[in-house]
Chains A and B, each alone.
Chain A
Amino acid sequence: MKKEQREKYYKLMLLASAMVALVVIVLIGGFIFKEGMPVFAKYGLGNVFWGRKWQPSSQIYGLWPMVVGTVYITLGSLVIGVPLGVLTAIFLAELAPKKLVSLVIRPAIELLAGIPSVVYGLFGMTTIVPVIRKIARSIPAYADEPTLSSGYGIIAGSIILSIMILPTVINVAEDAIRSVPREYKEGSLALGATHWQTIYRVIVPAASSGIMAGVVLGMGRAIGETMAIIMVAGNAPIVPESIFSSVRSLTGNIAIEMAYSSGEHTQALFATGIILFVFIMIINSLAMFLAKKEVG
Chain B
Amino acid sequence: MRPQTAQKIAGALLWAAALLTVVTLVVILGYIFMNGMHKITWEFLTTEPESMGAKGGIYSTIISTVIFTFVTLLIAVPVGIAAAIYLTEYTKRSWATKIIRFGTEALAGIPSIVFGLFGFAFFVILLKPITGGWSLASGSLTGACMILPTLIRTTEEAIKAVPNSYREGSYALGATKWQTVSRIVIPTALPAILTGIILGIGRIVGETAALLLTLGGSLYIPTKLTDPASTMSMHLYKVAMEVGAMDMAFGTAAVLIITVFFINMSANWIMHLMRKKTTA
Contact = CB atoms under 8 A, between A and B. Distances in A.
Interface of A: 3, 6-7, 10-11, 13-22, 24-28, 31-32, 34-35, 83-85, 87-88, 90-92, 94-96, 104-105, 107-112, 114-123, 125-127, 163, 166, 170, 193-197, 199-200, 217, 220, 223-227, 230-231, 251, 254-255, 258-259, 269-270, 273, 276-277, 280-281, 283-284, 287-288
A226 B112 contact: yes
B120 A194 contact: no
Interface of B: 3-4, 6-7, 10-11, 13-15, 17-18, 20-22, 24-25, 28-29, 31-32, 35, 78-80, 82-83, 85-87, 90, 99-100, 103-107, 109-118, 120-122, 145, 148-149, 152, 176-178, 202, 205-209, 212-213, 233, 236-237, 240-241, 246, 249-250, 253, 256-257, 260-261, 263-264, 268
16 contacts: A14-B90, A15-B86, A17-B78, A25-B107, A28-B110, A32-B118, A88-B14, A109-B21, A111-B264, A119-B32, A122-B249, A217-B109, A224-B112, A226-B112, A255-B116, A276-B114
Given A21-B103, A95-B11, A227-B208, 6 more contacts: A28-B114, A31-B121, A116-B207, A117-B208, A226-B112, A280-B111
Given A14-B83, A123-B32, A254 B17 contact: no
B14 A118 contact: no
A193 B10 CA distance: 14
A284 B22 contact: no
A250 B105 CA distance: 22
A88 B19 CA distance: 8
Nearest to A287: B109
Nearest to B250: A122
Given A88-B21, A122-B236, A7 B111 contact: no
B20 to A, nearest CB: 6
Contacts of B208: 116-118, 226-227
Contacts of A259: 212
Given A95-B14, A276-B111, A163 B24 contact: yes
A20 B3 contact: no
Contacts of A224: 109-114
Contact of A22 (B11, B99, B109, B263): B99
B121 A25 contact: no
Contact of A116 (B29, B103, B115, B256): B256
Contacts of B205: 116
B113 A32 contact: no
Contacts of A104: 22
Contacts of B145: 24, 28
Contacts of A258: 116-117, 120, 212-213
Nearest to A21: B104
A255 B210 CA distance: 9
Nearest to B260: A114
A215 B8 CA distance: 27
Nearest to B115: A28
Contact of A6 (B82, B178, B260): B178
Contacts of A20: 79, 83, 148
Contacts of A35: 117, 121
Contacts, number: 257
Contacts of B110: 25, 28, 224, 277, 280
A281 B111 CA distance: 10
A122 B148 CA distance: 28
Nearest to B122: A31
Contacts of B90: 11, 14-15
A118 B236 contact: yes
B18 A92 contact: yes
Contact of B109 (A126, A270, A280): A280
A24 B15 CA distance: 43
Given A27-B122, A108-B25, A21 B18 contact: no
A220 B87 CA distance: 26
Given A123-B31, A230-B241, A258-B212, A273 B21 contact: no
A276 B25 CA distance: 29
A108 B21 contact: yes
Contact of A105 (B18, B212, B257): B18
Contacts of B107: 21, 24-25, 28
A175 B87 CA distance: 24
A28 B118 contact: yes
B176 A7 contact: yes
Nearest to A200: B10
B58 to A, nearest CB: 13
A166 B22 CA distance: 11
